[in-house]
Structure 1
Amino acid sequence: MVTHVELQEDLQDALLPFGFEVYPFQVGRYNAVLQPAFHLNYPEDTLAFVVLSIPSMFERAFKPFLGQHKLQKLRDPIDECVSYHMMLAKERFPSHKVDVIYDYELHPNRRPKILMQTAAHVSGAAYYYQRKDVLQDPWGEKKLFGVCIHARFGGWFAIRAVLVFAELRAPGLEQILPIDCVPSREARIQLLEDFNFRWRDGKYRDVLPAEERYSAEQTLYFATPPADRMKLLELWGQLQ
């Protein structure tokens, strides 16, 4: 019987060289902190993995992908690249039913299929800072969105997918808590305000000294509106 440790090692072998990190969690721990409408419909001890892209993904996975594949005009190039690598990882486990849920997927009623930041938090991948994490917050009636911060990369990463091993149970999986890397009230206020009110300048990503940041090229790519990214890739000569 394969263990969650062996599965994690196999997934890391498949994905880490391309700039992706994987973190295991039990579906029940995700469901426990959400309203029923957002629950994943699997037994509580079902094994799942959060997949993050870290700064090196752009050079290790995305650029090679552009040089080797013809893009589909109606899909986002990054989404295509992520999907390609998730399918390659999935092929490593032909005897298992692996359901892949992507960050952009929605139900017909437009509700997200999964709340990625919650999944990242319960897996220990990144700490999900929310308004409730600020004592006596100063925002009154304003609505604020939360943001995940990675202990090594700050805000310079993205949560791309969750892989659910639908028929595998991990009742003994230890829960790894995310590292609270923005512990002070003042820093949390600054982080949430930077993310909610000034997110375009990307300052929130530098809430802590990052081990690695996006390159200037990668920063420009993600700052470009999605509709204009194909033109940017053509300008760079990156398309097949």
Structure 2
Amino acid sequence: MEVRVVQLEDKIRDYLGDLGFEIYPFKVGWYNEAVPPAFHLPYSENTLAFVVLSIPAMFDKAFKPFLRNQLLKKIQDPVDQCVSYHLSVVRQNLADEQMEIMYDYEMLPNRKPKFLAQTAAHVAGAAYYYQRKNVQKDPWGTKKIYGVCVHPHYGGWFAIRALLLFPDVEVPFLLQTNPIDCVTTEEERIELLEKFNFHWRDWSYRDVTEVKEKYSEEQKTYFATPPAERLKLLKLLGGFQRNAIH
């Protein structure tokens, strides 16, 4: 079984790694222990799952080639379409495996997310999820403070895109890897949460640590554009899109 899991991981990583994605394995039980019952994934605790991240290289390696070669649907976000396309290729490459995909933007009928992306990234060891509880002397009083994940190499310049779940693959032998705590002081954690909650539009929270790569100016422009206006932006950029947008 261990060999099968390694081969499975290698196949997924061999395809997605060249496109600016990272994958991290985890057991469903680790996730379920960390979230309220309403968010539990309906699988046994030893079920194999992977969290899928996009890193800065995804924009040039996956997104722009996708735009040149695929017809876009106006009703969907172009990046979401790109991620969905490449994960559908993973599904095809693993046709002998039962694989389920959950995307970060998918909602349950009660309008709650299908999974808590940042918690999944944390339990998989992909990125450390800094929350209010990680600050000992809380300065925010009654304010609502949201947590944020920090990647050990890319800081905040990444995104959590999806989960890949393999209901037929049990991994009781999988050992948990803790995420790297790269925002270690009380002052830095307060600064991170302040920037993320109150100044997120200026991107500064993403640079809370030294990073080896960040989004290009072109990529920043794209993600800074409101979702409803991104298709218009892609048309203005011209060379991006060979096919008409329908």
Normalized against structure 1, the TM-score is what?
A: 0.99
Q: Secondary structure at the match of 1:64?
A: helix
In the other structure, the counterpart of 2:62 is 61
1:145-179 alpha-carbon deviations (Å, 9 max, x no partner): 00000000000000000000111100000101000
Q: Which residue of 2 aligns with 1:202?
A: 203
Structure 1 distance, partners of 2:132, 2:95, is 42
Partner residue of 1:164?
165
How far off is 1:3 after superposition?
2.9
Equivalent residue letter for 1:5: V
Q: Measure, in 1, the Cα distance between the counterparts of 2:5 and 2:138.
A: 40
Alignment of 1:36-185 (within 5 A): 36-185=37-186
Cα distance in 2 for residues equivalent to 1:107 and 1:92: 28
Number of positions where the alignment pairs a residue of Structure 1 with one of Structure 2: 240
| Residue 11 (structure 2) pairs with residue 34 (structure 1) | no
What SS does the corresponding residue of 2:34 show, helix, strand or coil? Answer: coil
- What runs of 5+ residues in structure 1 fail to find an aligned partner? none
Deviations 1:174-194 (A, max 9, x none): 101000000000000000000
Shift of 1:95: 1.4
Q: Which runs of 4+ in 1 moved over 3 A?
A: none
Q: Deviations over 1:182-223 (max 9, x none)?
A: 000000000000000000001000001111000000001000
2:222 maps to 221
Quote the residue 1:18 is aligned against. 19
Q: Secondary structure at the match of 1:205?
A: helix
Residue 189 (1) aligns with residue 186 (2): no
1:7 positional shift: 1.5
The one-letter amino acid of 2:225's match is T
Identity %: 58
Secondary structure at 1:91 match in 2: helix
Amino acid at match of 2:98: K
Report the aligned-residue RMSD. 0.7
Give the distance between the partners of 2:209 and 2:84, measured in 1 at CA: 30
1:91 Cα offset (Å): 1.3
Quick one: which amino acid aligns to residue 187 of structure 1?
E
